Structures are given as structure tokens and as C-alpha cells.
Amino acid sequence: MTMKSVAQASATVDDTHSRQTRKRIVHRRAWGSWIFAGVVLGLLVAIVDAAVSAHVVDASVFANYLFSRKILEGAGNSLLLGTVALFAAGAVGLIAALMRVSGNPVLATLSSVYVYLFRGTPMLIQLIFWFNAFPLMFPQLHVAIPFTDHVLIDGPMTEVVTPWIAALIGLSLAEGAYMAEIIRAGLRAVDTGQRDAACALGMRRGQILYRVVIPQAARIILPAAGNQYILLLKSTSLASAIGYLELLRVTTDIYSANFRVVELLCVAGFWYLVMTAFATALQMLLERLYPHR
């Protein structure tokens, strides 16, 4: 037998052996998840069918109010309030977070108490409290330029603390407590080696904080801050309790007159979805422009 024949025979034996020993990979069927998906779809179809059969929503009424002037003004007020409150809450949260990590026991304690109080009480209670407490604590507001006779504000507090101001203060302080913990986590997440390197270069503590730590922490907290913005936009509906003409308050005033409750609530829900879609798109854009790594 020649060498070529021996090689061919060996190759044939190896190929036969590999085919015999090769095992077929069989993926297990995830029957449980498919059954659960079928049950969920069945329930969804049943709910939609019940809603259609009962004529819960009149499409003509929904379409009539969807782009009405009052509804659009209410949606704009909600978006404005939520956006301004987010920036104010970010500033409050940054100050509280810096107090918490400052190493000063007094500042850290004050920050902890603030976070505990404003995270531990419902936001609705806080809004109603500020709307009613400020006129009682400060009946008259007088603000003048020091050492001059020029008066900036002089009037009763009831005229100064409007529903807009009370809603802004309440939402900003309440959301600031959540932002304080988010920012604190972001500050802690920055590698200590960054601080040590900056300190070795001769940078002062304030320079290290604002030039090294905060820019990196901002990228880390961006996803969480985006989620809080979405929650804050929906929380503006609580301002209806103190008379601010946001989306839910306008919707409530309309259906109190025409009794088309479900249709008007669907209109409000649609515009809340639009606002949260805007916030989500903005969050994704910022995350793409300023990635964590």
C-alpha cells in the first residue's frame, strides 16, 4: 500500500469518526414564555374588544379636543413647568450632593435631613403646603435694593406666590432630593485616581471638582436624569390641585362641563405620551453626544 493510499484511508476513518461523534445541537423550546405571551395577548384583545363594544371612547369627541387651543396651552404649560423645574432641581440637587460629600458633618447632616424629608413625603402634600404656607409665614413681601430707596417688590405674598410659583417651588424641591442622590452617586463613581492625578498636578480642590469630577459625573448621571425628567413631566399633573392650568387641570375643567370624561382623559394621556416621547428622544440624543465611555 502506498503512502497516498494510507493517507486517504486515515482521512476516511477520521471523517467517519468525526461524523459519528458529532452531536446535533437541539435548542430547547421556551414553551412557558410563549404560553405567557399568548395569555397576555388574549387579555389585551379582550380589553380592547370590551372597550370597543361598550363605546367607551367616541372618536369624534377625541379628535375634536385633541388639538383644541386650551388643551395645547395646558400641554405647553406642563412642558414649561417640568423643564424649568428640572433645571432648578438639578441646581438644588447639586448643592445638596456637594454638601453630602463635603466631609463637613453639619453640611452632610443638613443634606441628609433634606433628602429624607422631601423624598419621604408625597409630592402633592408638598405642593399644597408651599401654596398655603408661604402667605402665612410671610404675609407681606418687601424687597428693596440695599442702601437705596428703590423698591423691587412690595405686596402681599398671596399675589407673589401664584400657582405657577408654588408649583415650581414644590416640584423643584421635591425633585431636588432625588437628583441629590443621583448626583452623589455620579460623583462617587468617578475614579479616585482622577482626583489624585489632578492633585499631583497642583490643582486646588475646587478646580478638581469643577474641571475633573463634575464633567465626568455628568455623563454618568445622564440616563438617570433623563428618567427623572420623564417622571417630572408626568408629576406636573399634581399642580392641578393648587389651580395651575396645566394639562390635567384644563382637561378636568372641560370634562366637568361636557361630562366626556374618558375622551378627555385619553386626550390628556396622548399629550403626556408626546411629551415623554420628546424627553426620551432628547435623552437618547444627549447619551449619543456624551457617552459614558
pLDDT digits (tens, 9 = 90+) for 24-61: 666 676 777 888 889 999 998 988 788 777 777 788 88
Entry pTM? 0.79
Residue 3's pLDDT is 52
Three-state DSSP class for 292? Answer: coil
Domain regions of the chain by residue span: 2-53, 62-289
Asked whether the predicted pLDDT for residue 10 surpasses 50, the reply is: yes
CB within 8 Å of 265: residues ≥ 6 apart: 251, 255
Percent of residues, the chain, with pLDDT higher than 90:
47
Average pLDDT over residues 218-238: 92
- Among 235, 238, 232, 218, residue whose Cα is nearest residue 286: 218
Give the cell for residue 101: 460629600
- SS (HEC) of 220-268: HHHHHHHHHHHHHHHHHHHHHHHCCCCHHHHHHHHHHHHCCHHHHHHHH
Residue 6: pLDDT above 50? Answer: no
Q: How far apart are CA 254 and CA 244, in angstroms?
A: 15
Residue type, 218: A
Quote the CA–CA distance of 104 and 163 in Å, as a whole number.
Answer: 37
CATH topology of domain 62-289: MetI-like fold (1.10.3720)
CB count within 10 Å of CB 53 equals 8
Whether the CB-CB separation of 135 and 159 falls below 8 Å is answered with no
- Please list the alpha-helical segments (H only) found in 121-162: 123-137, 157-160
206 neighbors 244 (Cβ within 8 angstroms): no
